[in-house]
């Protein structure tokens, strides 16, 4: 049997209860056929794919914490260290009630290729907990983060594994975790990224994922003969990625019509008011229902609906599988020209196929949102040097990295006869470097 088919079959049998992980691995393996199949006997002998899809280690632990009334609660903590062939493990920590081992494994697996695509020496990992930070007091968050780090500290370090933020983990949570790590180890080192500027953080890290998404989108459109200025965009989410994607889109002359949270979505025909959005989400930590108070002309709708709005560019920036086949059909019917994924795996497999079959330019997450982890790696460099770079310096490195990522995936797609298939191009370009390192290091 063909090596890739055999691997996918075994994966389905062994991890039937991990659907997100199966979805992510299947997508990558399917697009690696032109790389693997010509040499499949040699790769099979060295169990390359089995070693790639089985994490180096998976750490699962209990996280007790105390609420405002003195009651104790217990959540589950995770860290999956997937692959460190090209550098120390690197990947975010997600705090959301939906977190489970399948989600952490899918994110960790994707992270291997994303980190490789940045061109920087970082391996793939992911972690988090099913803890829900929403509605918690600062003290409750502190209690959780401290107890989370009381276990996690054993497995991480500036040259071993460097976690960062993700959904539910922002500067506040990173600060509490860093404080605990420093206290236990008596060590002020760059063990986490996304830190505050006063204790080792990097300028432009907050903006990096959203800005990077737009730098790559601009380059992709430019290389397809399309100017972004004057275009319209629809964005989902209203967290870190969405906010700075909207900000950079507006700076590039794109009118952004929507944003959303897990309860509902906003349509603003005059373009999203970024100052209002930041005040609602970053300062007051409120829901999007508040937006109408700032912009009476806007509409608030309960539930989902962003993808039904007519626009040139769609930027899913909330969560996995948020853009399904029906949504893809609506985008195509409305004349959308490009989808660039800010969130991780936001587009379902059938929606990806439909978009590609209808010639929509699709920039996959592992390329399009790599600006966050790339800037985290720049934060690691600054920590090692004990220097701080200016905003402009970091932003300009970020822009070059995103432009390079686009060309790497574009070149890989062309090399294997799949021009404009950026999903395949990103998987292949990310994989080739990791494969090279794994082969050089022997079976281990």
- As annotated, the active-site residues are 126
Of 103, 80, 76, residue with least CA distance to 91: 80
Q: Is 262 in the site for ligand NDP (CB under 6 A)?
A: yes
Residue with smaller CB distance to ligand NDP, 3 or 211: 211
Part of the chain binding ligand NDP (CB under 6 A), chosen from 117-125, 182-190, 231-239, 295-303: 231-239
Residue with smaller CB distance to ligand NDP, 28 or 242: 242
Q: What whole-number distance in Å separates Cα of residue 147 and Cα of residue 132?
A: 15
CB of 91 to ligand NDP, least distance (A): 9
Residue with smaller CB distance to ligand NDP, 135 or 296: 135
Q: Are 58 and 78 in contact (CB under 8 A)?
A: yes
Q: Which residues sit opposite 74 in a β-bridge?
A: 64
Q: Is 241 in the site for ligand NDP (CB under 6 A)?
A: yes
Per-residue x/- track, 328-347, ligand NDP (CB under 6 A): --------------xxx---
CB of 43 to ligand NDP, least distance (A): 29
Residue with smaller CB distance to ligand NDP, 174 or 435: 174
Q: Is 165 in the site for ligand NDP (CB under 6 A)?
A: yes
Residue with smaller CB distance to ligand NDP, 8 or 104: 104
3-state secondary structure the chain: CCHHHHHHHHHHHHCCCCHHHHHHHHHHHHHCHHHHHHHHHHHHHCCHHHHHHCCCEEEEEEEEEECCCCCEEEEEEEEEEEECCCCCEEEEEEECCCCCHHHHHHHHHHHHHHHHHCCCCCEEEEEEECCCCCCCCHHHHHHHHHHHHHHHHHHCECCCEEEECECCECHHHHHHHHHHHHHHHCCCCCCCCCCCHHHCCCCCHHHHHHHHHHHHHHHHHHHCCCCCCCCEEEEECCCHHHHHHHHHHHHCCCEECEEECCCEEEECCCCCCHHHHHHHHHHCCCCHHHHHHHCCCCEEEECCCHHHCCCCEEEECCCCCCECHHHHHHHHHCCCCEEECCCCCCECHHHHHHHHHCCCEEECHHHHCCHHHHHHHHHHHHHHHCCCCCHHHHHHHHHHHHHHHHHHHHHHHHHCCCCCCHHHHHHHHHHHHHHHHHHHCCCC
Q: Is 124 in the site for ligand NDP (CB under 6 A)?
A: no
Q: What whole-number distance in Å separates Cα of residue 246 and Cα of residue 236?
A: 10
CB of 195 to ligand NDP, least distance (A): 13
Q: Is 127 in the site for ligand NDP (CB under 6 A)?
A: no
Q: Is 268 in the site for ligand NDP (CB under 6 A)?
A: no
Q: Is 200 in the site for ligand NDP (CB under 6 A)?
A: no
Near ligand NDP by CB under 6 A: residue from 29, 80, 122, 167? 167
Near ligand NDP by CB under 6 A: residue from 261, 327, 395, 410? 261
Residue with smaller CB distance to ligand NDP, 175 or 372: 372
Near ligand NDP by CB under 6 A: residue from 87, 128, 168, 200? 168
Compute how many residues bind ligand NDP; rule: CB under 6 A: 22
Part of the chain binding ligand NDP (CB under 6 A), chosen from 76-84, 138-146, 260-268, 270-278: 260-268
Positions 289 through 328 that interact with ligand NDP (CB under 6 A): 317-319
Near ligand NDP by CB under 6 A: residue from 18, 81, 118, 240? 240
Using CA of residue 295, residue 300, residue 306, residue 311, what is the dihedral sign?
negative
Near ligand NDP by CB under 6 A: residue from 31, 209, 298, 427? 209
Find tokens 């889109």 and name the residue: 249
- Let me know the angle formed at the C-alpha of 317 by 195 and 337, rounded to the nearest 5 degrees: 140
Q: What whole-number distance in Å separates Cα of residue 177 and Cα of residue 159?
A: 18
Of 167, 344, 295, residue with least CA distance to 238: 167
Q: Is 238 in the site for ligand NDP (CB under 6 A)?
A: yes
Positions 364 through 423 that interact with ligand NDP (CB under 6 A): 369, 372
Part of the chain binding ligand NDP (CB under 6 A), chosen from 83-91, 149-157, 239-247, 401-409: 239-247
CB of 382 to ligand NDP, least distance (A): 17
CB of 239 to ligand NDP, least distance (A): 2
CB of 227 to ligand NDP, least distance (A): 26
Q: Which residue is nearest to ligand NDP (CB)?
A: 239
Q: Is 430 in the site for ligand NDP (CB under 6 A)?
A: no
Q: Are 429 and 31 in contact (CB under 8 A)?
A: no
Residue with smaller CB distance to ligand NDP, 94 or 146: 94
| Residues at the site binding ligand NDP, with contacts judged by CB under 6 A | 165-168, 209, 237-242, 261-263, 317-319, 342-344, 369, 372
């Amino acid at each position: 049997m063909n090596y890739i088919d055999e691997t996918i079959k075994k994966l389905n049998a062994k991890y039937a209860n991990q659907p997100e992980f199966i979805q992510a691995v299947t997508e990558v393996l399917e697009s690696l056929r032109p790389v693997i199949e010509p040499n499949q006997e040699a790769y099979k002998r060295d169990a390359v794919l089995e070693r790639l899809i089985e994490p180096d280690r998976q750490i699962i632990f209990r996280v007790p914490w105390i609420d405002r009334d003195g009651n104790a609660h217990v959540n589950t903590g995770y860290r999956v260290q997937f692959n460190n062939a090209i550098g120390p493990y690197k990947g975010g920590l997600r705090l959301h009630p939906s977190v489970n081992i399948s989600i952490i494994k899918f994110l960790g697996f994707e992270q291997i290729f994303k980190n490789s695509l940045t061109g920087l020496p970082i391996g793939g990992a992911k972690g988090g907990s099913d803890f829900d930070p929403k509605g918690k007091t600062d003290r409750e968050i502190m209690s959780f983060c401290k107890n989370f780090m009381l276990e996690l500290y054993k497995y991480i370090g500036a040259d071993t594994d460097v976690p960062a933020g993700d959904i539910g983990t922002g500067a506040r949570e990173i600060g509490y975790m860093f404080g605990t790590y420093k206290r236990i180890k008596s060590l002020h080192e760059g063990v986490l990224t996304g830190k505050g500027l006063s204790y080792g953080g990097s300028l432009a890290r907050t903006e990096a994922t959203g800005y990077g998404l737009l730098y790559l989108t601009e380059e992709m459109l430019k290389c397809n003969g399309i100017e972004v200025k004057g275009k319209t965009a629809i964005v989902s989410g209203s967290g870190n990625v969405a906010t700075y994607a909207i900000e950079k889109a507006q700076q590039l002359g794109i009118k952004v019509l929507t944003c959303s949270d897990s309860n509902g979505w906003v349509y603003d025909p005059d373009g999203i008011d970024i100052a209002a959005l930041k005040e609602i989400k970053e300062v007051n930590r409120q829901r999007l229902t508040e937006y109408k108070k700032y912009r009476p002309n806007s509409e608030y709708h309960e539930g989902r609906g962003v993808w039904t709005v007519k626009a040139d560019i769609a930027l899913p920036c909330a969560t996995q599988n948020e853009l399904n086949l029906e949504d893809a059909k609506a985008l195509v019917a409305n004349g959308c020209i490009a989808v660039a994924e800010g969130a991780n795996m936001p587009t379902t497999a059938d929606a990806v196929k439909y978009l590609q079959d209808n010639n929509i330019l699709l920039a996959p997450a592992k390329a399009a949102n790599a600006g966050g982890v790339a800037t985290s790696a720049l934060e690691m460099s600054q920590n090692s040097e004990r220097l701080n770079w200016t905003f402009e310096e970091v932003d300009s490195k970020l822009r070059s990295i995103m432009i390079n990522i686009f060309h790497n995936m574009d070149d890989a797609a062309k090399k294997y006869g799949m021009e404009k298939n950026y999903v395949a191009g990103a998987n292949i370009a990310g994989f080739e470097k990791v494969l090279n390192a794994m082969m050089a290091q022997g079976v281990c």
